[in-house]
Chains A and B, each alone.
Chain A
Amino acid sequence: MTGLTRRGFTLMTGAAGLMAVSGCASRDRPEGGVRRVVVVGGGFGGATAASAVRRYFPKAEVTLIESSATYQTGPGSNAVVAGLAPSSAIERDFSGLRARGVTTVAGTVTVIDLKSKSVKTAEGLALHYDKLILSPGIDVKWKTIEGYDEAAAAIMPHAWKPGVQTALLRRKLEAMPNGGVVVVAVPGNPYSSPTGPYERASLIAHYLKRFKPRSKLLVLDGKDSFAGERLFKEGWAQLYGDMVEWVPASKGGRVIKVEAQSGTIETDHHRFAAAVANIIPPQTAGAIAHKAGLTDHTGFCPVEAATMRSTRSRDVFVIGDAASAGEMPKTAHAASSQAKIAAAAVAADLGGEQPGPFSAVNATYALVAPDWALSITGLYEAGSGDIALVKSSGGASPVNAGQAYRRREAELAEGWYRSICADSWG
């Protein structure tokens, strides 16, 4: 412990006081043959996985490592961008996980050694694992759009990882003049939160309509169709008239270059001058997944469909946005569902049993306005092949369902958010 403290390392021991962590590699295993499950990442996937392992295999010692002391959720972050909620509304801490007997550690995992089954953090912690559940989320792929690097993101925020970037985009919107053009650039598939960019465009339009009504919102898209398209278009036409314009890839929507200083955005066909540019770039699995050798040519992590077990290592499970999960979209709910599947497989492994069948739910809500929401759902299974939608299930909200229906789904969206947060973090 002294060594850790000297390194300025923050260690928060679980309420159950399960373990004495040591930075010394020779003492990096739990005493008495206790099995250790290490979870990397404190988002929906990681938090749910840590909780579920405690539930399914209470004898295991579970340590969750997350780089920040709190976690800001993607769901809800568009409301923060639009000034409808403070960032505190989407901030979760890990006290609920500790109450569930999870040991939480603030640290950045820099090494995953698949051979010795150990992880190391930048702060000097070394931990052996019996099973590892990796839920690192996505990282932005810099420079796939010419000129879009970290420096450019300080001017043209992506805001696709909630926190500093979210606040930056909010400030840019507040500072822009009435009558300016806001550009939301959306990548091709796959990326985290398929409906997220369109919810963001909607809620920014909601802000502009109230405070800067002569402004224009352009959605420049790297693809020709998107999840919930008919519903978003219905809502945009009803609520925002011609303020919102969606430009598909085939009409020159794909952004290929930006000049952050001048506020210029280029697509195959056009140049745009934006007062505020929100560039959501192509994405890849979190850096640690690449570094550990758990990714493939897609940039994401191949997994066995039934268990979320990495095809690269029997003792590693990858869940959430970083995993290639067949037809399951990269959403908070999908990450949470996959976390339970992976936790059950970990428990089965530790107990020397066969895991049960794969069944996972996804529900996604998106706001077109604070009182106008749509939903997309599905039930997923994994037979012998990839994870696939159960054909009889799923679908989106009906079109032209009327204002009462949209308002009801906006209320349900709030309930969903409270519930999934309670389920994940306690």
Chain B
Amino acid sequence: MRLWLSVALGIALLPASGIAGNPAMVLADGCATCHSAGGMPSLSGTPADQLKAVLAEFKTGKRVATVMDRIARGYSDSQIESIATYFAAQPQPSAAP
């Protein structure tokens, strides 16, 4: 819920052209299935370079994972760029109550 609220703020950032002008948002929303409250950490506010580096390490297998390596291997470099840029622009979720 917290993540959803924080990303919901992103609606305001949505370009006037609407969702089709922001495919990165839909791509990044795919991450929210696991990266929501009670699950994996929120990605919002993560610096783009940091997220790109981590995803690259998952992709090459340098960073050990259970499922994220298997998912990251499917993303193209440009998709990773889009995802990282999107999350970097999102406000960090407020601290857990």
Contacts and interface: CB of A to CB of B under 8 A. Distances in A.
A354 B36 CA distance: 28
A3 interface: no
B20 A355 contact: yes
Contact of B70 (A341, A354, A393, A426): A393
B37 interface: yes
A344 interface: yes
Q: Which among B7, B36, B66 has the greatest number of chain A C-beta atoms within 10 A? A: B66
Interface stretch (A187-195, A200-208, A404-412): A404-412
Nearest to B18: A351
A395 B71 CA distance: 9
A418 B32 CA distance: 12
A261 B14 CA distance: 60
Contact of B79 (A336, A347, A359, A421): A359
A419 B37 contact: yes
B8 interface: yes
Interface stretch (A25-33, A48-56, A157-165, A215-223): A48-56
B17 interface: yes
Given A356-B26, A377-B71, A344 B39 contact: no
Contact of A348 (B8, B19, B36): B19
Nearest to A374: B66
Contact of A51 (B4, B19, B40, B75): B4
Contact of B20 (A51, A96, A351, A426): A351
A55 B8 contact: yes
Interface string B29-54: 11111111111100000000000000
A421 B37 CA distance: 9
A357 B8 CA distance: 22
A114 interface: no
Q: Which among B8, B29, B37 has the greatest number of chain A C-beta atoms within 10 A? A: B29
Nearest to A423: B36
B21 interface: yes
Contacts of B30: 337, 340, 359-361
A58 B19 CA distance: 10
Contacts of A357: 23
Contact of B4 (A100, A378, A394, A418): A100
A142 interface: no
Size class of A's contact patch? 35 or more
B73 to A, nearest CB: 5
B11 interface: yes
A363 interface: yes
Interface string A261-296: 000000000000000000000000000000000000
A422 interface: yes
A416 B34 contact: yes
B18 A419 contact: no
Contacts of A55: 7-8, 11, 29
A393 B68 CA distance: 10
Nearest to A340: B29
Given A57-B18, A351-B17, A418-B38, A344 B26 contact: yes
Given A333-B33, A422-B38, A353 B4 contact: no
Contact of B33 (A100, A344, A361, A409): A361
B55 to A, nearest CB: 12
Interface of A: 51-52, 55-58, 96, 100, 333, 336-337, 340-341, 344, 347-348, 351, 353-357, 359-361, 363, 375, 377-379, 381, 390, 392-395, 397, 405, 408-409, 412, 415-416, 418-423, 426
Interface of B: 1, 3-4, 7-8, 11, 14, 17-21, 23, 25-27, 29-40, 66-67, 70-75, 79
Given A356-B23, A359-B26, 7 more contacts: A56-B25, A348-B20, A359-B75, A375-B66, A393-B72, A419-B39, A426-B1
7 shortest A-B CB distances, which residue pairs?
A419-B39, A393-B74, A418-B38, A356-B23, A379-B74, A353-B20, A390-B74
